[in-house]
Amino acid sequence: MASTAQTIKTTTLAIDGMSCGHCVQAVTKALSGVPGVTVKTVAVGSAVIQTADGWATGTAVAALDEAGYPAKMMGESAGPAAPMPTKSGGSCCGGAKVATTNGQPGTRSSGGCCG
- Per-residue pLDDT of 59-82, as tens digits, reads 999 999 999 999 999 865 555 444
pLDDT band at 114 (very low <50, low <70, confident <90, very high): low
- Which of 26-40, 41-55, 63-77, 88-102 shows the lowest mean pLDDT across its residues? 88-102
pTM above 0.85, yes or no: no
**Sequential DSSP letters for 60-75:** HHHHHHHTT--EEEEE
Helix, strand, or coil here: 83?
coil
Per-residue pLDDT, averaged over 5-15, amounts to 88
Cα(71)–Cα(64) distance, rounded to whole angstroms?
7
Percent of the chain whose pLDDT exceeds 70: 60
Domains and CATH numbers, the chain: 8-108 (3.30.70.100)
Q: What are phi and psi of 26, to 5 degrees?
A: -65, -40
